[in-house]
Every structure is written in structure tokens, then in C-alpha cells.
Amino acid sequence: MSSSGVSNVGSQRRPLIAIYYDQGVWQAGREAVEHMLTARHVSWQRVTAKAVNGGDLEGFDVFWLPGGWSGDYWSRISGRGMEHLRQFVRQGGGFVGICAGAFFASALIVWEGESFDYPVGLFAGQTVGPVTEIAPWPQCAMTAIDLSPQHPVSSALSPIRRQLYYGGPIFVPNGNQPVEIVATYAQTGEPAAIAFQYGNGRVFLSGLHFETGTDCVGRDDGDVGVMPAPEADWEFGWALLDWLLG
């Protein structure tokens, strides 16, 4: 653990979010998540692959896997670490996978037509990308999404929003695993964000970067301010936290 956000000092422990911080993480997106959590007065700590592999997740309420490159996540997180993540969620923890984090959490990745079996398998279906109708990789674009009014994450929000697309997937559920669609890409009508129960825990996966805006693309770590970047959708992120933390 290399850094932390809001203090947990007090008679009642604040919710604590583990933010993955290791090879492959998109640093601007990760830092935007940290600022978003801090602005909501939610405590967070960075955790490395070593901590995941060692099962050092006790005391955390949610594991947050930011965008970046899922192949690097796979190369750093061991099979034992993947089982620790599954156990963490089964026992009641929350899991957030954004873009590459969502790819990593699925059983099968299809990237530019090539399939890759992934052993994590929180999501039993497929993640398929990039969505070239929105932006071919490695281009990015702000894109419209339609929220499902039925899901608690989105029920109190404006149903039409714009978030950053940067190589994320669509989600193709496995019929044996109940999944709720939280958002669809307005341009294609395909699932852009999903949520589901896994054991006693909750999982949220998104192909979009609601935590950041287009001015974060290509920036160096440290350039992202404490205030939300233009076009960031922190309101959505805070609603997500409310659902994850009950």
C-alpha cells in the first residue's frame, strides 16, 4: 500500500476502498478516481498486485480496478490472487472494474476479433471491444449513454448522460448468470455497464470512464486537479458508491 486518502480516525469506521495501483494502470484515470472518492469523503488506499496475491484485502469494502491494460493485470495478479479477489466478493465485498478492469473480470475477452480466456471469471460472459462505431482504438470520444431507470445506481439520475469512451467493451452476458444492465451505448444500444451479485458481494463493470473527462487523455500522473475535470461524471460515480456500500 503506497498511499491513502481520507483518514479513518473516529468511533465509526468509514468505508474503505482498495484502488489497484500497479503495472498497466492508466494513471490519469486512477488519480481521478482518488479525487472523486476524496470529494465524497470516502477513504481509500492504493494496493499492489503483491497485496492481492498475498490476500491482504481484510478491512476493505470495495476493490476498484481502474482502466489501463488488462494483459498487465493478468501478468501481475497470480492465480492465487485471482481467487483472493473472488473470495473477497463472495464474502460481501464490492468490485468495480472500469474498462480494462472490466475486461480483466470477465471469463472471455474478445479484442479486435481475437479471443482470450481469462481465469478470473467474476463475469461469466464475454467482454468485446473496442466499439469502433464510437471510436477505434486507440482513439477516444465522449459518447452518449442511456441509463436503465430500474437499477438503483441510475434510478435517481438523469437517464441520458455523456461519458468518456476509451477502448472499453460491450458486455455479452452468459444466460446462466443473472446480470442487470445499468447503461447502454446510445449509438449502438449494446450494454455499456452491468451490475450483478456474486455470492454475498456486488460487482459493477463499465466500458466507460465516468471518473474523468477528455482533458485527462494523455496527461501525466499528477496533472489531474482535485476538482472534477470538464465532462467528468462524478455524480454517477457517487451513486455507484452508494449502491456498493449499501
pLDDT at 153: 94
Looking at the DSSP bridge assignments, the partners of residue 110 are: 115, 128
Q: How many domains are contained in the chain?
A: 1
Q: What is the pTM of this model?
A: 0.93
The range of the structural domain enclosing residue 119 comes to 16-245
> Could you tell me the mean pLDDT of each successive run of 10 residues in the chain, 246 residues long?
45 82 94 92 96 97 97 97 98 98 98 96 97 94 95 93 96 95 98 98 97 75 61 95 92
pLDDT at 93: 97
Beta-sheet strand order (sheet of 180-185): 43-47, 16-20, 62-65, 94-98, 201-206, 191-198, 180-185, 141-147, 160-165, 208-209
Gap between the Cα atoms of 132 and 45, Å rounded:
35
The domain that holds 175 is classified in CATH as 3.40.50.880
Neighbours of 13 (CB within 10 A): 11
Task: Tell whether 9 is covered by a domain.
Answer: no
pLDDT at 160: 95
